[in-house]
Amino acid sequence: MNTNTPAIEMRGIEKSFGTNPVLKNVDFSVSVGEVHALAGENGAGKSTLMKILQGVYQKDAGEILVSGEQVQITDTFAARKAGIGMVFQEFSLIPTLTVAQNIFLTNEPTKFGLIDDAKARKLALDIFKEMEVEVDPSRTVESMPTALWQLTEIAKALAQNAKVLIMDEPTASLARNEAEGLFALIERLKTRGIAIVYISHRMDEIYRIADRITVLRDGSRVLTESLKKVSPEQIVEAIIGRKAAAHLVHKNRSAKISKEVVLEVKNLSSGPKLQNVSLQVRRGEILGLAGLMGSGRTELVNTLFGILKPTAGTITINGKQLDISSPQQAIQNKIALIPEDRRAQGLVLDHAVTENLTLPLLDGLKSSGLLSKRKILARSKEIIEQFDIRLAYPGIRVGSLSGGNQQKVVIGKWLGTNPEILLMDEPTAGVDIGTKSEILDLVRKIADSGKSVILISSELPELLSVSDRILVLKDGHVSKSLNREEIPSEEFLQLAIQGAA
Amino acid sequence: MSTKTSTNTALNMLKRFEWRQNIIYIGFAAVFILFAVLLSDSGFSNPNNLLNIFRQTATISIMAVAMTYVIAAAEIDLSIGSVAGLAAVVTAMTINSYGLIPGILAGLAVGAISGAISGGLVAWLKVPSFLVTLGMLGLVVGVARWITASAPVPIADQTYITIFGGGDIGPIPGLLVWVVVAVTIGAIVMNKTKFGRHVRATGGNLVAAGFTGVKTAKIKFMVLLISGIAASFAGMLYAGRLQSGRFQWGTGDELSVIAAVILGGTSLFGGRGQVVGSLFGALFIGLINNGLILAGLDVSQQQVVRGAIIILAVALSRKK
* pLDDT tens figures, A312-326: 999 999 988 988 888
The neighbouring-strand residues paired with A470 are: A288, A482
3-state secondary structure (DSSP) of residue A413? helix
**ipTM metric:** 0.80
Residues of A in contact with B68 (CB under 8 A): none
pLDDT digits (tens, 9 = 90+) for B281-291: 999 999 988 88
Going by the DSSP 8-state scheme, the letter that residue B17 receives in this structure is -
Nearest CA in chain A to B271: A96
Rounded distance between C-alpha atoms, residue A349 and residue A363, angstroms: 22
Nearest CA in chain B to A78: B213
Q: Do B211 and A108 touch (CB under 8 A)?
A: no
B262 membership: H or E segment, kind and range: helix B253-263
Q: Which domains does chain B have, with CATH numbers?
A: 18-318 (1.10.3470)
Side chain identity at residue B93, one-letter code? M
Instruction: Give the closest-approach CA distance of A64 to chain B in angstroms.
Output: 20
pLDDT digits (tens, 9 = 90+) for A85-135: 877 655 678 989 999 999 998 889 988 889 999 999 999 999 999 888 889
Residue of B18, B21, B205, B268 to mutate, testing the A interface (most A Cβ within 10 Å of its Cβ): B205
A383 membership: H or E segment, kind and range: helix A373-386
Rounded distance between C-alpha atoms, residue B188 and residue A110, angstroms: 13
Q: Do B204 and A77 touch (CB under 8 A)?
A: no
- The answer, for A106 touching chain B at a CB cutoff of 8 Å, is yes
- The answer, for A80 touching chain B at a CB cutoff of 8 Å, is yes
Mean pLDDT value across residues A242-247: 49
Position B295 scores a pLDDT of 86
Residue among A86, A94, A138 minimizing CB distance to B205: A94
Between A335 and A365, the higher pLDDT residue: A335
Position A2 scores a pLDDT of 47
The alpha-helical segments, DSSP class H, found in B166-215 are 174-192, 194-204, 206-212
Check pLDDT > 70 for residue A242: no
Position A420 scores a pLDDT of 92
Residue of B191, B197, B266, B272 to mutate, testing the A interface (most A Cβ within 10 Å of its Cβ): B197
Rounded distance between C-alpha atoms, residue A390 and residue A372, angstroms: 24
Q: Do A105 and B214 touch (CB under 8 A)?
A: yes
Q: Do B194 and A108 touch (CB under 8 A)?
A: yes
Residue of B68, B192, B195 to mutate, testing the A interface (most A Cβ within 10 Å of its Cβ): B192
Residues of A in contact with B267 (CB under 8 A): 96
**Whether the Cβ atoms of residue A473 and residue A287 lie closer than 8 Å to each other:** no
CB pairs under 8 A between A and B: 69
Q: Do B204 and A94 touch (CB under 8 A)?
A: yes
Nearest to A432 by CA among A207, A243, A241, A301: A241
Nearest CA in chain A to B266: A96
Check pLDDT > 80 for residue B201: yes
The neighbouring-strand residues paired with A114 are: A111
C-alpha of A248 from chain center: 18
Position A501 scores a pLDDT of 42
Residue among A88, A101, A106 minimizing CB distance to B214: A106
Rounded distance between C-alpha atoms, residue A463 and residue A473, angstroms: 14
**Whether the Cβ atoms of residue A140 and residue A97 lie closer than 8 Å to each other:** yes
Mean pLDDT value across residues B196-214: 89
Most confident range, picked from A226-235, B72-81, B249-258: B72-81
pLDDT digits (tens, 9 = 90+) for A40-57: 876 788 888 998 998 888
Domain A8-244: CATH superfamily is P-loop containing nucleotide triphosphate hydrolases (3.40.50.300)
Position A422 scores a pLDDT of 93
Between B100 and A248, the higher pLDDT residue: B100
Mean pLDDT value across residues B250-263: 90
HEC profile of B28-82: HHHHHHHHHHHCCCCCCCCHHHHHHHHHHHHHHHHHHHHHHHHHHCCCCCCCHHH
Nearest to A395 by CA among A368, A367, A414, A373: A373
Residues of B in contact with A81 (CB under 8 A): none
Mean pLDDT value across residues A472-481: 88
Residue among B193, B212, B270 minimizing CB distance to A105: B212
3-state secondary structure (DSSP) of residue A276? strand
At A256, is the pLDDT very low, low, confident or very high (cuts 50, 70, 90)? confident
Position B208 scores a pLDDT of 85
pLDDT digits (tens, 9 = 90+) for A145-193: 877 888 898 899 888 888 899 988 887 767 777 888 889 999 999 998 8
Instruction: Tell me the average pLDDT of chain B.
Output: 89
Q: Do A77 and B213 touch (CB under 8 A)?
A: yes
pLDDT digits (tens, 9 = 90+) for B140-160: 999 999 999 989 999 989 999
At B1, is the pLDDT very low, low, confident or very high (cuts 50, 70, 90)? very low
Instruction: Give the closest-approach CA distance of A94 to chain B in angstroms.
Output: 5
- The answer, for B208 touching chain A at a CB cutoff of 8 Å, is yes
- The answer, for A95 touching chain B at a CB cutoff of 8 Å, is yes
Residue among B200, B210, B213 minimizing CB distance to A96: B200
Instruction: Give the closest-approach CA distance of B309 to chain A in angstroms.
Output: 28
At B14, is the pLDDT very low, low, confident or very high (cuts 50, 70, 90)? low
Residue of A47, A96, A149 to mutate, testing the B interface (most B Cβ within 10 Å of its Cβ): A96
3-state secondary structure (DSSP) of residue A105? coil
- The answer, for A370 touching chain B at a CB cutoff of 8 Å, is no
3-state secondary structure (DSSP) of residue A409? helix
> What's the fold here for domain A255-334+421-427+447-501?
Rossmann fold (3.40.50)
Counting residues of chain A whose pLDDT is more than 90, the rounded percentage is 28
pLDDT digits (tens, 9 = 90+) for A27-37: 999 999 999 99
Q: Do A94 and B192 touch (CB under 8 A)?
A: no
pLDDT digits (tens, 9 = 90+) for A215-229: 998 889 998 999 899
Residues of B in contact with A159 (CB under 8 A): none
At A339, is the pLDDT very low, low, confident or very high (cuts 50, 70, 90)? confident
Position A407 scores a pLDDT of 85
Domain boundaries, chain A: 8-244, 255-334+421-427+447-501, 344-418
**Quick one: CA dihedral A331, A334, A335, A341, positive or negative?**
positive
- The answer, for A105 touching chain B at a CB cutoff of 8 Å, is yes
At A144, is the pLDDT very low, low, confident or very high (cuts 50, 70, 90)? confident
Q: Which residues have a Cβ under 8 Å from the Cβ of A352 and sit 6 or more positions away?
A: A394, A395, A396, A397, A398
- The answer, for A348 touching chain B at a CB cutoff of 8 Å, is no
Q: Do B192 and A114 touch (CB under 8 A)?
A: yes
Radius of gyration for the alpha carbons in chain B, expressed in angstroms and rounded: 20
- The answer, for B214 touching chain A at a CB cutoff of 8 Å, is yes
**Whether the Cβ atoms of residue A375 and residue A349 lie closer than 8 Å to each other:** no
Mean pLDDT value across residues A379-396: 84
Position B5 scores a pLDDT of 52
At A253, is the pLDDT very low, low, confident or very high (cuts 50, 70, 90)? confident
Mean pLDDT value across residues B257-279: 90
Check pLDDT > 80 for residue A465: yes
- The answer, for B184 touching chain A at a CB cutoff of 8 Å, is no
**Per-residue CA distances from A494 to A187, A246, A292, A477, B302 (Å):** 24, 21, 10, 17, 68
C-alpha of A191 from chain center: 29
Side chain identity at residue A153, one-letter code? E
Residues of A in contact with B218 (CB under 8 A): none
Q: Is A8-244's fold the same as A255-334+421-427+447-501's?
A: yes
3-state secondary structure (DSSP) of residue A102? helix
**Whether the Cβ atoms of residue A302 and residue A276 lie closer than 8 Å to each other:** no
At B218, is the pLDDT very low, low, confident or very high (cuts 50, 70, 90)? very high
3-state secondary structure (DSSP) of residue A289? strand
Nearest to B69 by CA among B212, B182, B220: B220
**Per-residue CA distances from B35 to A351, B282, B317 (Å):** 51, 17, 21
Q: Do A114 and B193 touch (CB under 8 A)?
A: yes
Between A1 and B191, the higher pLDDT residue: B191
Position A243 scores a pLDDT of 42
Q: Do A93 and B208 touch (CB under 8 A)?
A: yes
- The answer, for B246 touching chain A at a CB cutoff of 8 Å, is no
Check pLDDT > 70 for residue A198: yes
Mean pLDDT value across residues B55-75: 95
At A1, is the pLDDT very low, low, confident or very high (cuts 50, 70, 90)? very low
Rounded distance between C-alpha atoms, residue A191 and residue A32, angstroms: 9
Range scoring the smallest mean pLDDT among A8-12, A220-224, A379-383, B136-140: A379-383
Side chain identity at residue B314, one-letter code? V
Position B20 scores a pLDDT of 65
Residue among B191, B209, B267 minimizing CB distance to A94: B209
The neighbouring-strand residues paired with A320 are: A317
Nearest CA in chain A to B197: A105
Instruction: Tell me the average pLDDT of chain A.
Output: 85
pLDDT digits (tens, 9 = 90+) for A430-452: 777 777 888 888 889 889 988 99
Check pLDDT > 70 for residue B126: yes
Geometric angle at alpha carbon B295, from B291 and B299, rounded to 5°: 85
Burial class of residue A487 in the structure, from the number of CB atoms within 10 Å of its CB (0-12 exposed, 13-18 middle, 19+ buried): buried
Side chain identity at residue A178, one-letter code? E
pLDDT digits (tens, 9 = 90+) for A360-380: 777 778 888 888 888 888 888
Instruction: Give the closest-approach CA distance of A175 to chain B in angstroms.
Output: 24
